[in-house]
Amino acid sequence: MNCFVRKGVKELVRPAACEEVARFGSTLDLIKAKLAVESLQSNLKDVALELSHGRSPTELSVLLSDYINLALEELGSASISIER
């Protein structure tokens, strides 16, 4: 990110403003990550409920795969890197 303000020909750096923007971005990423994890947690509870109601392992496997992919997508939008 460029945090420069052009003033005539000279460029002035504003590190405090840059740091504030970076902190805001980091905070937003953490909030997005928290929401993604909470969503996955809720979805896993649903899978456990479905399991107790006798849903087939094949159906649950597909459901789990979908939930995991959704969580990875949500974490990706939060600029969180996931190693697989």
What's the whole-model pTM score? 0.65
Angle (deg, nearest 10), helices 57-77 and 15-52:
170
Q: Has residue 44 been placed in a domain?
A: yes
Q: Regarding beta strands 10-13 and 4-7, do their DSSP bridges make them parallel or antiparallel, or are they unpaired?
A: antiparallel
Q: Has residue 66 been placed in a domain?
A: yes
For 30-80, what is each residue's pLDDT tens digit?
899 999 999 999 999 999 999 999 999 999 999 999 999 999 998 888 776
Q: Has residue 70 been placed in a domain?
A: yes
Q: Has residue 64 been placed in a domain?
A: yes
For 26-36, what is each residue's pLDDT tens digit?
888 889 999 99
Q: Has residue 39 been placed in a domain?
A: yes
Residue from 23, 42, 38 nearest 74 by CA: 38
Please tell me the total count of domains within the chain: 1
Give residue 49's domain range: 32-84
Q: Has residue 63 been placed in a domain?
A: yes
Q: With bands split at pLDDT 50, 70 and 90, how would you rate the model's confidence at 9?
A: very low
| 3 state DSSP class of 29 | helix
